[in-house]
Amino acid sequence: MDGSADLRSRLRGIVAQRMETDPAHDLAHLDRVWVNAQAISDDQTNMLVLLAACYLHDLVNLPKDDPDRHLASRRSATDSEPILRDLGYNQDQTRAIQHAIEAHSFSANIAPNTDEARILRDADRLDALGAIGIARNFSVSGALGRSLYDPADPFAANRPLEDLKFSIDHWKVKLLSLPDGMLTETGRILAQNRAERMIRYLEDLSEEIGRPLPESWKNP
């Protein structure tokens, strides 16, 4: 097995050739997930397993509105096998990496049952929060043709939330609740800090558009 620095370089080279043009799921996203994963990991973590899982978890990236979106992580796990074999991973390591990849996805609804799988899931979800989470959310919404917010009722005070139509609604539907679903203590702390940054952004937004931010958005 290669040293981790050389292995990371090889993994980056492999995925760079397969990544589609998607600013929210590009090579920089994989780099950030790896940084997050290292921040969350501890002495019990198999870092070689975690490294490969971080860089291969989005091998198959389907659009958010694709009906097969929930299958993307399983397909990524399947596609990772020949890559891992060529990199010198053994069968046990490959199975561990594939499980982490399968279980990281929100839509796949697969319970992570290893430390590496729990860390990858938290690390990936961290990238949906904070300043980078705001940027990614607006990038995805723009690609899907969604409005930033409902000008008549920006924070859904008197209407149902519609995150398939309004970008800001998705914050309340999903993003601001991510800290509560983190599986590691460090991940939970980091996620809460990032969610607080997003709430500060919403407070600035509410001031600029002249519409009050409901208290329920400040305490998701």
pTM > 0.85: yes or no = yes
Q: Does domain 4-113 have CATH number 1.10.3210.50?
A: yes
Q: pLDDT tens digit string along 114-167? A: 999 999 999 999 999 999 999 999 999 998 999 999 999 999 999 999 999 999
How many angstroms separate the CA atoms of 184 and 188, rounded? 6
**pLDDT score recorded for residue 72:** 81
Q: 44-71: buried (b, 16+ CB within 10 Å) or exposed (e) per residue?
A: ebbebbbbbbbbbbbbbbbeeeeeebee
Half-sphere exposure of 42 (CA within 13 A, CB side): 7
Q: Say which CATH architecture domain 130-218 belongs to.
A: Orthogonal Bundle (1.10)
**pLDDT score recorded for residue 61:** 78
For CATH 1.10.3210.50, list the domain ranges present in the chain.
4-113, 130-218
**pLDDT score recorded for residue 71:** 80
Q: Which two tokens stand for residue 31?
A: 């780099």
**pLDDT score recorded for residue 65:** 65
**pLDDT score recorded for residue 18:** 81
User: In whole angstroms, how large is the CA radius of gyration of the chain?
Assistant: 18
- The list of the chain residues with pLDDT below 50 reads none
**pLDDT score recorded for residue 63:** 67
